[in-house]
Amino acid sequence: MGLFQKRDKSLELTVPKEYELYGVRVRKLPVGKYVEYLKKADDLPYVLMSKVFPDVNNFGDLLAKLLELDRTASLRVLGNLLKTAPEQLCLLLSELLDIPLERLTDPECENALALNELMEIVVKFVELNDYSDFFGNVRRLRELTAPPKARETKTANTGSSDGSR
């Protein structure tokens, strides 16, 4: 390609919109599904704490409860978290990736996914749903719509001084 020739973007290969991996259809996520997932992921800490401390209703009560735990109670809470966190993670992944929950949680399921298979699916999902361009564009848009004072460029520090202030 010559120095001044433009690349013809129509000749570039596009990433497929979906893959089939271990019987799971890995696809590009629609915006609505992405927003729904972010909400559920944002609620995860609350869900975990409500499972471990069902009688606690607010953050202050949670802190008080945590401060009064002895060693035995702390180990019980840790055990509950270790049991609850993977279950909640499987639930989120099931919903995000449209995988029947049984394939992630039921050891007797005929076509249950192994941990390495699930990780391959997640990696392929992340590759397919690369949002780096989107977040870069959002950052540029924020910079363009910022108030003029916030957009002023600062004088570069060259490391030398001519003696003036």
pLDDT over 80 at 24, yes or no:
yes
Higher model confidence: residue 50 or residue 119?
A: 119
Residue whose entry in the numeric block shows the structure tokens 């950052």: 139
pLDDT for position 147: 80
pTM over 0.75: no
Higher model confidence: residue 116 or residue 44?
A: 116
Taking a C-beta distance cutoff of 8 angstroms, is the pair 55, 70 a contact? no
What's the mean per-residue pLDDT of the chain?
A: 79
pLDDT in tens, 76-115: 888 888 888 888 889 988 988 889 999 999 989 999 999 8
CA dist., res. 54 & res. 121, Å (int): 33
Higher model confidence: residue 63 or residue 110?
A: 110
Taking a C-beta distance cutoff of 8 angstroms, is the pair 28, 128 a contact? yes
pLDDT for position 103: 95
pLDDT for position 70: 86
